[in-house]
Chain A
Amino acid sequence: MGTLVEEIFSRKAGREVHAGEIVLLDVDYIMSHDNTTPLAIKAFREIGKPIADKDKLVIHFDHAYPAPNLLAAEAQKKALDFIKEQGLTHFYHQGVCHQVMIEEGFVRPGAVIIGADSHTNTYGALGAFASGYGSTEIGVAWVAGKTWFKVPPTILVELEGSARPGVYSKDVMLYLAGLLGMDGATYRSVEFAGSYIQSLSMQARIVFSNFSTEIGAKCGLIAPDAVTVDFLEHETKAAPPYDLVQPVNPTYERIVRVNVAEIEPQVACHPDVDHVKPLSEVAGLPIDEVFIGTCTNGRYEDLEIAARMLKGRRVAPYTRTIVTPASALIYKKALENGLIQVFMDAGCTIGVVGCGACIGRHGGLLAPGERAFTTMNRNFIGRMGSPEAEIYLGSPAAVAAAAIEGKIVDPRPYLEAPYA
């Protein structure tokens, strides 16, 4: 009996556990990437004990891959030497770690996955407990095969109604970030539910779990349903049967209800993720860089939304527009279906699959005084390069419209009247 996180933890613990308890649990997978693996290796070496189960380790090179400078190259060589030395088989470099984790079938309903990346929360959209940890703790989990958890209390976010045309899951999530604040769910599990969530594709649902990190949440969960099963079967390597864990007579710490029909396109303004305004209030703001990609909105559906708007059009002459598919699989599908050609004809630059410009280490850094409008999940000062640059966050449609006009504009006219 309990909330979704209590049910997942209870199954793992083999007994009923409740919010507030501290439990030691086996983890299914331990994820790390080029940025966080070196410190985990350092912790691992210092402990001086062997890896408990090598099959649990999944390592991705995505944050700055291929290496943009010598320091990154040296760090990646060291990580690769470790992977070879230990004979690790789950090693990937074909896109953002979170997207590849899902595609490769590591994420299943009911799984417990920890990752050395704050957006590990992403996998909650498929009904897995997943959360971000520091590198030392990841090195510890390599040795122990398990880690300690404080079972979190849960905030239920019930989203009802239908979104207006041109309003996407990103807009709804940005609205929630503004409503709850960046510490609105600290230490909490957030369960996203309601008829709106049920109506969404998995790609659109993932935005909520991914962004739950930005309101401080330990995890952002969505109960698995028919959409989850269909997605797992057709778009991932996770073979059935699936354990469709559900909340059972749950007790919530807080319930937040929102009618999504009332939400219009939203923008998170410089320099905080909860500095959210309706897009109409910032319309006209000039944009120097548009970046479409990341673990938040770099999936096929997102590229499709942008491509539909950019088809037959050109991006503004002084607005650098970068499209970085989240994974090789997405890139391939976008190539096959002509999306990449649309972007190139429109004057976009196609980035190498992975995190790209999101972390300010390669693929589109901002100069002092520049302003970016992106599909990312974070707009902290200095994140994309210069601390004197500004970052605004929006939906794929909102940023594509800005690319066309060189300023923030309502995307809806472009959606209503696509060129082709």
Chain B
Amino acid sequence: MPRAWKFGENLNTDEIIPARYNITIEPKELARNVFCEIRPDYAQSVHPGDMVVGGPNFGCGSSREHAPIAIKGSGAACVIAPSFARIFFRNAINIGLPILECPEAAAEIADGDELAVSLGDGKITDLTSGKTYQAQPLPAFVLQIAEAGGIVNFLKTHTIEDLV
């Protein structure tokens, strides 16, 4: 069953993946060192479908996409946080890493809780506590990009004018 990996507030891009590992853009390679300084057990123990649960201002710092790519490469199904830093927010959408803004869920879900998430309607269920949460629905054009698997895939068959 997918489990939650809990992180604190203002988690910056250097804490997600230190700059010295950004010598590659290969997702699996980056994933080997994701969260290595603040949560060294993550890369070893994360299972595909697990979820990252963060605090406010998740992903602040640099514009580097290595951070969301490293998380996606680790097999995490999504990131749940009360709020995201703006460049991380756009980068995650653009590379196709689902992100959900939900302050209540992010605050109450405990590390290791079993989770079920329905990305389509933003419903988050904490199976350990039995509580359910409703994340802020993503704007339609963001869903369009996410459904295409990222903006690059979207543009293969569309023009940017199709977004708005």
Contact = CB atoms under 8 A, between A and B. Distances in A.
B35 to A, nearest CB: 12
B63 A144 contact: no
A139 interface: yes
Given A116-B63, A380-B61, A387 B164 contact: no
Contacts of A43: 151-152
A164 B12 CA distance: 34
Nearest to A380: B14
Interface string A44-56: 0011110000000
Contacts of A359: 19
A148 B160 contact: yes
Contacts of A272: 10
B90 interface: yes
Contacts of B94: 134, 136-137, 140
A35 B66 CA distance: 11
Contact of A183 (B15, B19, B57, B87): B57
A270 interface: no
A259 to B, nearest CB: 28
Interface in B105-164: 139, 141, 150-152, 155-156, 159-161, 163-164
Instruction: Kindly name the residue among A22, A136, A186 whose own CB sees the greatest number of chain B CB atoms within 10 A.
Output: A136
Given A46-B152, A360-B19, A382-B20, A136 B91 contact: yes
Given A24-B164, A382-B18, A148 B141 contact: yes
Contacts of B15: 380-381
Contacts of A134: 63-65, 87, 90-91, 94-95
B8 to A, nearest CB: 12
Contacts of A140: 94, 151-152, 155, 160
Contacts of B57: 182-183, 186, 216
Nearest to B88: A134
A132 B89 CA distance: 12
Given A137-B94, A140-B155, A186 B86 contact: yes
Contact of A216 (B25, B60, B62): B60
Contact of B86 (A36, A49, A144, A216): A216
Contacts of B159: 144
A383 interface: yes
Interface string A153-193: 00000000000000000000000000000110011000000
B41 interface: no
Contact of A136 (B37, B61, B95, B156): B95
A387 B36 CA distance: 11
Contacts of A144: 155, 159-160
A118 B61 contact: yes
A366 B161 CA distance: 47
Contacts of A22: 139, 141, 164
Instruction: Kindly name the residue among B10, B56, B62, B141 whose own CB sees the greatest number of chain A CB atoms within 10 A.
Output: B62
Contacts of A47: 152, 155-156
B61 A378 contact: yes
Interface string A205-232: 0000000000010100000000000000
B85 interface: yes
A118 B155 contact: no
A319 interface: no
Contacts of B160: 24, 140, 143-144, 146-148
A36 B64 contact: yes
B1 interface: no
Nearest to A217: B86
Contact of A382 (B19, B23, B85, B86): B19
A71 interface: yes
Interface string A71-109: 110000000000000000000000000000000000000
A182 B87 contact: no
Contact of B90 (A42, A137, A182): A137
Nearest to B38: A381
Given A137-B91, A148-B160, A186-B83, A382 B63 contact: no
Nearest to A144: B160
Among all A-B residue pairs, the 3 with the closest Cβ atoms: A183-B57, A134-B91, A144-B160
11 contacts: A22-B164, A24-B163, A46-B152, A46-B156, A118-B63, A134-B95, A135-B65, A136-B65, A137-B94, A186-B85, A186-B86
Given A35-B22, A216-B86, 11 more contacts: A22-B141, A24-B163, A116-B63, A135-B65, A136-B95, A136-B150, A136-B152, A139-B152, A140-B151, A380-B61, A382-B20
Interface of A: 22-24, 35-36, 38-39, 42-43, 46-49, 71-72, 116-118, 120, 132-137, 139-140, 143-144, 146-148, 182-183, 186-187, 216, 218, 272, 359-361, 378, 380-383, 387
